[in-house]
């Protein structure tokens, strides 16, 4: 059994002006349910043990029909092996080649653009791999592939690595499915999530802002039924936040999906307000959910730290989030 982490708020997040709103964190420490959460299962940290009824039991990891967490972790390791991958770096360019190679069998769109940053004009590129479905409408699964700018000591296994590796494993899963009867699925690798100087509305989420504006202008935004963002999803001690900047009904659906798989103890024990790649898409009128574990090490101490390395991650966490995404897509497909 794994221990849950202390739920105290991150001082570091506060110091960089992130609005992380913690709800009743003292209550969490006492094992009480978080106000506003959908039920009390999250108060039982180990609800996904073998005592669960069969229909609530944890699904088998890495078996056919489920996301291959070991493969997702292998992708993360390969991505991290390029070294720090900030925009404009040689490692970033190598990673773009790697993404192209892995997604070349799919209908792959590259959204390349140049944009002003505090370090001058920079080239950036989003990748969009498309898996067509029979139903009208699109579900987007996205993550960012850049890492912290200006930090040569930061390899971003979780922050950048997991948000690249898990979407690649999801693409593998949907590619193998051949024919989809639900919505079309678009796996998006976003560039330029990290700030170049200091996180602000104009210095952050460059790729997301560009793609959301493009989709708004060309009518794609109106066809997107849901946008699921994956960021920092590999922590071995997995605690995905309920994000108050995300669309409530979609957050509820994600929680139901996690519950269907017996994973609810890894979801929504606390509520935060995240600023991340999902916000430009929300502004474009798209329902969004940010799946992020912003409790990475005690008090989030590994976040943006040289300690954000592969040894902190697990294949199981990647599989839990991956399976929950697949189940969320199934629930979206089942909606009238
Ligand atoms: C997540 C991972 N984020 C950056 N890397 C978004 C974020 C920005 C989180 C500012 C907290 C503060
Ligand atoms: Zn980051």
Q: Please say if the pLDDT value at position 184 is more than 50.
A: yes
Burial tier of 120 (Cβ tally within 10 Å: 0-12, 13-18, 19+): exposed
pLDDT at res. 54:
31
Work out the mean pLDDT of the chain and round it to a whole number.
86
pLDDT at res. 13:
39
**33 or 271, higher pLDDT:** 271
pLDDT at res. 155:
98
CB 310 within 8 A of CB 80: yes
Name the token pair of 13. Answer: 């997040």
pLDDT at res. 49:
28
Name the token pair of 190. Answer: 């976003």
* Atom 3 of ligand 1, residue of closest alpha carbon: 276
Burial tier of 85 (Cβ tally within 10 Å: 0-12, 13-18, 19+): buried
pLDDT at res. 178:
78
Nearest ligand for residue 86 CA? 2
Report the alpha-carbon angle 278-228-225, nearest 5. Answer: 95
Nearest ligand for residue 12 CA? 1
Q: Please say if the pLDDT value at position 3 is more than 50.
A: no
pLDDT at res. 305:
98
* Atom 9 of ligand 1, residue of closest alpha carbon: 275
Name the token pair of 255. Answer: 């929680």
**319 or 43, higher pLDDT:** 319
Q: What 8-state DSSP symbol labels residue 314?
A: -
Q: What is the mean pLDDT of residues 110-134?
A: 98
Q: Quick one: what percent of the chain has pLDDT higher than 90?
A: 79
Q: Tell me the torsion sign for CA atoms 138, 254, 166, 67.
A: negative
Q: What is the mean pLDDT of residues 116-134?
A: 98
DSSP bridge pairs for 110:
127
Top CATH class of 44-334 equals alpha beta
Q: Tell me the torsion sign for CA atoms 190, 195, 196, 201.
A: positive
Q: What is the mean pLDDT of residues 316-325?
A: 98
User: What gap in Å lies between CA 318 and CA 192, rounded to an integer?
Assistant: 23
Query: Distance, CA 102 to ligand 1 centroid (Å)?
Result: 27
Nearest ligand for residue 16 CA? 1
Q: Please say if the pLDDT value at position 313 is more than 90.
A: yes
Q: For residue 135, which of 39, 265, 266, 225 has the smallest C-alpha distance? A: 225
Q: How long a stretch of residues is the chain?
A: 336
User: What gap in Å lies between CA 66 and CA 40, rounded to an integer?
Assistant: 27
Evaluate: CB of 333 within 6 angstroms of ligand 1. no
Q: Please say if the pLDDT value at position 27 is more than 70.
A: no
Evaluate: CB of 275 within 6 angstroms of ligand 1. yes
Residue 97 has phi, psi (to 5 degrees) of -60, -40
Evaluate: CB of 16 within 6 angstroms of ligand 1. yes
CB 67 within 8 A of CB 323: yes
Q: For residue 143, which of 90, 192, 215, 86 has the smallest C-alpha distance? A: 192
Q: What is the mean pLDDT of residues 41-61?
A: 34
Q: Is the pTM value of this prediction over 0.75?
A: yes
User: What gap in Å lies between CA 143 and CA 158, rounded to an integer?
Assistant: 11
Q: Name the residue with tokens 């101490």.
A: 301
Query: pLDDT tier at 179 (50, 70, 90 boundaries)?
Result: confident
Give pLDDT tens digits for 70-118.
999 999 999 999 999 999 999 999 999 999 999 999 999 999 999 999 9
Evaluate: CB of 170 within 6 angstroms of ligand 1. no
pLDDT at res. 303:
98
End-to-end CA gap in the chain? 39
pLDDT at res. 65:
62
Q: Where are the domains of the chain?
A: 44-334
* Atom 2 of ligand 1, residue of closest alpha carbon: 159
Evaluate: CB of 17 within 6 angstroms of ligand 1. no
**27 or 329, higher pLDDT:** 329
Residue 186 has phi, psi (to 5 degrees) of -115, 120
User: What gap in Å lies between CA 165 and CA 222, rounded to an integer?
Assistant: 28
Query: Distance, CA 277 to ligand 2 centroid (Å)?
Result: 11
pLDDT at res. 5:
40
């Amino acid at each position: 059994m794994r221990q849950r982490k202390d739920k105290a708020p991150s001082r570091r997040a506060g110091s960089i002006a992130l609005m992380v709103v913690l709800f009743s964190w003292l209550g969490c420490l006492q094992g009480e349910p978080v106000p506003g959460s959908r039920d009390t299962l999250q108060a039982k940290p180990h609800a996904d043990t073998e005592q669960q009824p069969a229909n609530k039991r944890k699904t088998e990891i890495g078996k056919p029909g489920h996301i291959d967490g070991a493969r997702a972790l292998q992708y993360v390791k390969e991505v991290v092996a390029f070294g720090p991958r900030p925009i404009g770096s040689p490692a970033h360019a190598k990673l773009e080649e790697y993404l192209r190679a892995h997604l070349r069998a799919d209908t792959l769109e590259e959204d390349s653009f140049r944009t002003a940053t505090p370090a001058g004009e920079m080239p950036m590129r989003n990748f969009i791999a498309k898996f067509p479905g029979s139903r009208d409408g699109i579900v987007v699964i996205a993550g960012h592939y850049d890492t912290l700018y200006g930090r040569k000591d930061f390899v971003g296994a979780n922050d950048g690595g997991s948000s690249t590796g898990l979407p690649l494993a999801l693409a593998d899963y949907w590619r193998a499915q051949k024919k989809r009867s639900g919505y079309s699925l678009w796996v998006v690798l976003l560039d330029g999530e990290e700030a170049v100087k200091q996180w602000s509305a104009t210095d952050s989420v460059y790729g997301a802002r560009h793609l959301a504006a493009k989709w708004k202008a060309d009518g794609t935004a109106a066809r997107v039924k849901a946008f699921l963002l994956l960021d920092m999803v590999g922590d071995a001690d997995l605690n995905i936040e309920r994000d108050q900047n995300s669309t409530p009904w979609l957050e509820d659906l994600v929680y139901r999906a996690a519950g269907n798989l017996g994973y609810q103890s890894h979801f929504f024990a606390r509520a935060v307000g995240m600023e991340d790649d999902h916000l430009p898409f929300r502004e474009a009128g798209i329902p969004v959910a940010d799946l992020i574990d912003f409790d990475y090490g005690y008090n989030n101490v590994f976040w943006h730290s040289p300690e954000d390395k592969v040894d902190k991650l697990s294949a199981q966490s990647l599989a839990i989030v991956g399976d929950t995404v697949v189940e969320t897509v199934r629930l979206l497909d089942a909606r009238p």
